[in-house]
Structure 1
Amino acid sequence: MRPIQQWFDEYGQSHQNHTNKLIHWICVPLIFFSIVGLLASIPAGPLKMLFPEQLRPFVHFGTIVILLGLLFYLRLSFTMFLGMAIVCSLVLWLVYVVDVNLETPLWLVCLVVFVLAWVGQFYGHKVEGKKPSFLKDLQFLLIGPAWLLGFIYRKLGIPY
């Protein structure tokens, strides 16, 4: 597996334009949230019954995908894994909050967010003049959130 900095360098090649970067700071987290929310909307049935009552709202297919994604981050960097675990926990909590507090079904909210965020992403790449990295390698869909977290790590002086 490539080192994390190599992933970031390659991802960064199609993310040089200030407008595109700004759009990514907004749209990448929204896409991440919406995917987890869409997956959380799929009935998990008896799977939930295997867990204590207080954990059941977080037992869904979104959580399973997050756990698989965290394995990817763990293979890249332990500190990135820890940061992404915090980000993923926040996303799971936000999905729960939206699901419990809005009358609109979670899947519908997430579908609208997903579509609008991808429109934003493709607009950003049009401004950039380069294709999205994931068209070359689907693993870049996992690199996007970590690339943003990498900026925060550098600002805080946290090695990754």
Structure 2
Amino acid sequence: MLNPRLQALFDDYASSHRHPTNRLTHKIAIPVIVLHVVAMLDWVRLVSVPLIPGGVLTLGIVAWVLATLWYLRADLKLGLIVSAAAALCFPIGRMIPMWGVIAIAAGGWLIQLAGHAVWEKKSPSFFTNLVHALVGPLFFVAILTGDYSVKPAQIDPSASRA
């Protein structure tokens, strides 16, 4: 059972993601966007630290730790899943050449924005509530695990006619 604060965040997030095709684009775009954000932040080297794998503390690691703390505070189970998935982005991102990460970023954002422009007809929710940039990955993990269900009232009735 979700805590009331997270339930409210998910309900608010769902209100900007009513069209099923938009939600589908997000299931593709959100993991791709998380990958490119982690990979790009990992390019920013902050300080040498021999105890860290690779020996360098990067902005990506700092952002991952801070995001993990937020996710775990929101929900332990979902937070662990999202944090572990984001952690996998470090080795994957390090294997992809810079041009590949940039191409992944462009593709992910195009898919994400197309979902909102073409199907949802509403700007992304993080434009008005920046915390939704963190909520998105957690929301879709909650959908996949069955910890959150989109209620019929949260589905765009015109979607069945599209």
Q: TM-score, normalised by structure 1?
A: 0.80
What is the aligned counterpart of 1:112 among 91, 95, 103? 103
Rate the CA distance shift 1:113–1:58 in 2: closer, same or farther, 3 A. farther
The CA distance in 1 between the partners of 2:55 and 2:89, in whole Å, is 13
Task: Give the percent of matched residue pairs that are identical in Structure 1 and Structure 2.
Answer: 25
Q: Is the Cα–Cα contact under 8 Å of residues 64 and 86 in structure 2 kept in the other structure?
A: yes
- The letter for the 2-side match of 1:65 is A
Where is the strand percentage greater, Structure 1 or Structure 2?
Answer: 2
Name 2:135's counterpart in structure 1: 143
2:123 is the alignment partner of 1:131: yes
Name 2:9's counterpart in structure 1: 7
The CA distance in 2 between the partners of 1:68 and 1:111, in whole Å, is 24
Provide the aligned C-alpha RMSD in A: 2.1
Name 2:157's counterpart in structure 1: none
Within a 5 Å distance, the mapping from 1:39-50 to structure 2 comes to: 39-44=41-46, 47-48=47-48, 50=49
The CA distance in 2 between the partners of 1:117 and 1:57, in whole Å, is 30
Q: Is the Cα–Cα contact under 8 Å of residues 15 and 21 in structure 1 kept in the other structure?
A: yes
SS state at 1:113 partner: helix
Q: Which has the higher contact order (CA 8 A, sep 6+)?
A: 1
Where is the helix percentage greater, Structure 1 or Structure 2?
Answer: 1
Q: Is the Cα–Cα contact under 8 Å of residues 27 and 117 in structure 1 kept in the other structure?
A: yes
Name 2:40's counterpart in structure 1: 38
Name 2:59's counterpart in structure 1: 61
Name 1:22's counterpart in structure 2: 24
Structure 2 runs not aligned, ≥5 long: 148-162
